[in-house]
Amino acid sequence: MSSAATPGPNFGETLSERSLTALVVVEAIELFGIAPLSAEARVPAWSLFVMIALNVAIVLAVVRGKTVATIAVIFAALLEVFAVVLRVTSPSARTEALDFAAALTLLVALTVVLAVTVFGPGRVTVHRVVGAVAIYLNVAVAFALAYRMIDSLGPGKFAMSPAGSGHILSTLVYFSFTTLTTTGYGDVVPIDAFARSLANLESVIGQLFPATLLARLVTLEIEHRRGEPR
């Protein structure tokens, strides 16, 4: 008697997983292409907002069918839109800090729902592994936004070279990646005590995340194979 065939993934599952790979491609273009060009005014500033909107749309495709995750992403996106409008209509240090706080909230929401998908049960596919890279990138950007929020509350929070002082967010994204990867070139130095504490936390996460990621994905694959019919 032949055993029943294991059903393959449906269209929704396939779309969700392939969206993880699309997200990494979009984030790489945004972080390593559009963002530095925007900081040097080589591309229009609105191009970054287009990329962010595309990120949100792709994450919504990833969590397709998950009501709570979808509501969380939409709410965080609307909160960021409100903060941007408030910053434009009433520019001040407080509204600027609020804008960065809302952007950080949106990024955290996106990362959490991604983590639920990437590290959830089931077969570990290439798309899920690539999705974990998106989470890693999001961690760096989240810390950069936190640094920028601290810097917006008062001057002197960071010491940086003259080349980076005119493009603070871009420079802090650069600083965040060098901290996460423990490269540490030393051209940007946190002065504020809380900023230094965050930098320490980020460097620890940068060391632990790859090892934890590998262990979790291997465990998921082993559990999936044990559950397959023989």
Q: 207-210: list long-range contacts, CB under 8 Å, 24+ apart.
A: 207/182, 209/136, 209/139, 210/136
Within-domain flag for 43: yes
Q: Locate 216 and state its tokens.
A: 């979790």
pLDDT in tens, the chain (230 residues): 444 444 455 545 576 778 888 999 999 998 888 888 887 777 787 787 888 889 999 999 888 878 888 999 999 999 999 998 998 898 888 888 888 899 999 999 999 988 888 887 777 778 888 888 899 999 999 999 999 988 888 778 898 877 655 678 888 999 999 999 988 888 899 999 999 999 999 999 988 887 787 777 777 767 766 666 54
Within-domain flag for 2: no
Q: For position 85, which CATH number holds? A: 1.10.287.70
Dihedral over Cα of 31, 150, 103, 181: its sign: positive
Within-domain flag for 19: yes
Residue 229: per-residue pLDDT: 53
Within-domain flag for 213: yes
Within-domain flag for 5: no
Q: How far apart are CA 147 and CA 165, in angstroms?
A: 14
Within-domain flag for 131: yes
Within-domain flag for 45: yes
Residue 165: per-residue pLDDT: 59
At what angle are helices 67-89 and 46-62 packed, to 10 degrees? 170
Backbone angles phi, psi at 183, to 5 degrees: -75, -55
Instruction: Provide the 8-state DSSP code for 166.
Output: T
Full residue range of the structural domain in which residue 212 is found? 12-227
Residue 1: per-residue pLDDT: 42
Q: How far apart are CA 23 and CA 19, in angstroms?
A: 6
Within-domain flag for 7: no
192: left (phi over 0), alpha (psi -120 to 50) or beta: beta
Bridge partners, residue 75, by sequence: none
**106, 76 in Cβ contact below 8 A?**
yes
Number of domains in the chain: 1
